[in-house]
């Protein structure tokens, strides 16, 4: 908060809570014993796991499910590993940027590149996040729909839960509750085990990376490839993790633990994503037609029902609960990323450590955005699977511009000091950006050629 010259800066609730969290970390650093590293990691862990498991959201897990049912495991299982390696490379940059600058991503863009680009990045993020939130609520609706819960009750219950977590009024509490919810993403693992997969085939696909599916490159395959990328590397991740690390109060001393946090999140998310593909690959193996699933808003529930003959009632139930978790956690984290960016660009208080009275705009953006998105889902007959794939494709196309800003920031010595990007880090970051650009170009080219009937649609 700004004050007149000569006045003592006002100490806010945000400052008090963050100081308490930093004191615990300082005490952990000063402690001795074998458990010291684990205690320190426990205190600093959170944003990295949340950003990765938050990316295993409703659209992503339904996209993985559609991928497994359509193409099996051969090509896409190792491809998921590649996308999460890219996600770690990108998010490691935000870790250093947050720890060194103590500022959010939108705030840095605003200050270093000017108000136009600051507002542009925030509005672009807000639009993309809102479209994704709509699909997250459809995932919540679909998960509960398997149990016969009506759409208004499902959406209302999901909204009530997410608002309750948002209003915890303490970053530490919010983070731990959301982490607890996010860990239920692991439910995809027992579902995969219950379908009795061919572990040899899964291992073989990871080691050899099977060639492209039968039919070669076509529009349908590229749609799934783009959707898989968009299920892993998206703009909201940059804004969320950097702002969450700032809210948590991390410093350069905490970078090793923050990297470990992000790496753990990437590994867990990759395992759970592969489990979703493996679980639904049984539908591909048994030639179950899932194309009609795109005709209703309960496509995820239809996937759960289709898995019953192979995973049993327990497996189908776990699948539906996992989809519910994926949508719920994503609503919480994605809404937070929009609110953080709004507060950073407008200069208003934007911390989960702040009470509502000190950050009305911040909490209003989170809650109102989620409420409107949930309200749209009540409108019937949305083609879920197609919407999910298209939203992920949009996220993929929006990522390269966001990465350019990120790379420029981490290469600015005035911003980063001794933590400025090195050659190897730049090589990987630029490589990810080029890959995403080429994927977008390939998608556009194949779409045009398909429209001209030069290439087949599938």
| Token pair belonging to 166 | 């948002």
Whole-angstrom Cα distance, residue 210 to residue 157?
A: 43
> Nearest CA to 263 among 398, 402, 84, 421?
84
Give the CB-side neighbour count of residue 436, counting CA atoms within 13 A.
32
How many C-alpha atoms does 171 have within 13 Å on its Cβ side? Answer: 30
Only one residue has tokens 């194949």, namely: 446
- CB 262, CB 354: distance < 8 Å: no
Instruction: State pLDDT tens for residues 369-417.
Output: 999 988 888 876 655 555 666 676 777 677 788 889 999 999 999 999 9
Expressed in percent and rounded to 5, the helix, strand and coil fractions of the chain are 80, 0, 20
CA atoms of 286 and 69, how far apart (whole Å): 9
Nearest to 409 by CA among 122, 108, 123, 119: 108
Q: Which residues of the chain have pLDDT under 70?
A: 1-9, 214-216, 289-300, 380-390, 392, 396, 447, 449-458
R_g over Cα of the chain: 22
| pTM listed for this prediction | 0.87
Which residue in this structure is represented by tokens 């969290």? 21
289 vs 208: CA distance, rounded Å? 28
pLDDT at 427: 94
Query: What single string gives the DSSP state of each residue in 4-71?
Result: -TTSPPPPPHHHHHHHHHHHHHHHHHH--STTHHHHHHHHH-SHHHHHHHHHS-HHHHHHHHHHHHHH
DSSP structure string for 235-264: HHHHHHHHHHHHHHT--GGGHHHHHHHHHH
pLDDT tens, position by position, 144-166: 888 888 888 989 998 998 889 88
Distance CA 227, CA 300 (A): 16
Q: Which CATH number fits the domain 58-451, given the four candidates 1.25.40, 3.30.230, 3.30.70, 1.10.4160?
A: 1.10.4160
User: Which structure tokens are listed for 63?
Assistant: 């996209």
Q: Residue 322 belongs to what H/E stretch? A: helix 299-346
Instruction: Report how far residue 231's alpha carbon sits from residue 234's, in angstroms, rounded to the nearest whole number.
Output: 7
The answer to whether 395 touches 128, Cβ cutoff 8 Å, is yes
**Measured distance CA(259)–CA(238) in Å, rounded:** 14
Structure confidence by residue, pLDDT tens digits, 89-101: 999 999 999 999 9
Show me where the domains of the chain are located: 58-451
> Is 60 within 8 Å of 273 (Cβ atoms)?
yes
| Predicted pLDDT of residue 319 | 92
Q: Using alpha carbons, select from 241, 104, 250, 248 the residue that is nearest to residue 172.
A: 248
What pLDDT was estimated at residue 278?
92
- pLDDT score recorded for residue 216: 67
């Amino acid at each position: 908060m700004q004050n007149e010259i000569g006045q003592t800066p006002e100490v806010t609730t945000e400052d008090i809570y963050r100081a308490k969290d930093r004191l615990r970390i300082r005490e952990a650093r000063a402690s001795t014993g074998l458990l010291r590293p684990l205690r320190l990691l426990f205190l600093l862990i959170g944003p990295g796991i949340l950003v990765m498991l938050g990316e295993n959201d409703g659209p992503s897990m339904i996209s993985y499910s559609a991928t497994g049912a359509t193409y099996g495991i051969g090509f896409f299982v190792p491809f998921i590993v590649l996308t999460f390696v890219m996600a770690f490379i990108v998010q490691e940059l935000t870790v250093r940027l947050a720890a060194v600058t103590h500022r959010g991503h939108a705030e840095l863009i605003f200050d270093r590149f000017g108000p136009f680009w600051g507002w542009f990045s925030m509005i672009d993020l807000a639009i993309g996040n809102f479209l994704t939130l709509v699909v997250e609520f459809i995932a919540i609706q679909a998960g509960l729909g398997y149990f016969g819960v009506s759409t208004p009750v499902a959406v209302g219950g999901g909204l009530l839960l997410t608002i309750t977590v948002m209003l915890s009024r303490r970053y530490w509490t919010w983070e731990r509750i959301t982490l607890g919810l996010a860990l239920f993403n692991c439910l995809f693992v027992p579902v995969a085990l219950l379908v009795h997969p061919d572990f040899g085939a899964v291992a073989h696909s990871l080691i050899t990376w099977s060639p492209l599916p039968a039919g070669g490159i076509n529009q349908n395959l590229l749609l799934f490839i783009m959707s898989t990328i968009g299920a892993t590397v998206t703009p909201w991740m940059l804004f969320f993790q950097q702002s969450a690390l700032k809210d948590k109060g991390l410093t350069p001393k905490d970078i090793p633990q923050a990297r470990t946090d992000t790496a753990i999140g990437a590994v867990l998310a990759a395992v759970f994503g592969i489990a979703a593909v493996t679980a639904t690959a049984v539908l591909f193996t048994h030639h179950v037609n899932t194309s009609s699933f795109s005709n209703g808003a309960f496509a995820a529930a239809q996937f759960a029902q289709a898995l019953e003959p192979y995973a049993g009632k327990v497996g189908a139930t776990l699948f539906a609960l996992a989809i519910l978790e994926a949508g719920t956690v994503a609503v919480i984290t994605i809404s937070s990323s929009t609110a953080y960016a709004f507060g950073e660009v407008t200069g208003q208080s934007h911390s989960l450590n702040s009470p509502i009275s000190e950050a009305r705009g911040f909490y209003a953006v989170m809650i109102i955005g989620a409420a409107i998105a949930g309200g749209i889902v009540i409108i019937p007959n949305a083609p879920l699977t197609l919407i999910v794939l298209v939203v992920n494709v949009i996220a993929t196309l929006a990522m390269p511009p966001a990465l350019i800003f990120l790379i420029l920031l981490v290469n600015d010595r005035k911003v980063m000091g001794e933590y400025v990007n090195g050659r190897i880090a730049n090589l990987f970051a630029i490589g990810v950006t080029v890959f995403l650009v080429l994927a977008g170009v390939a998608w556009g080219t194949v779409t045009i050629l398909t429209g001209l009937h030069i290439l087949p649609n599938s």
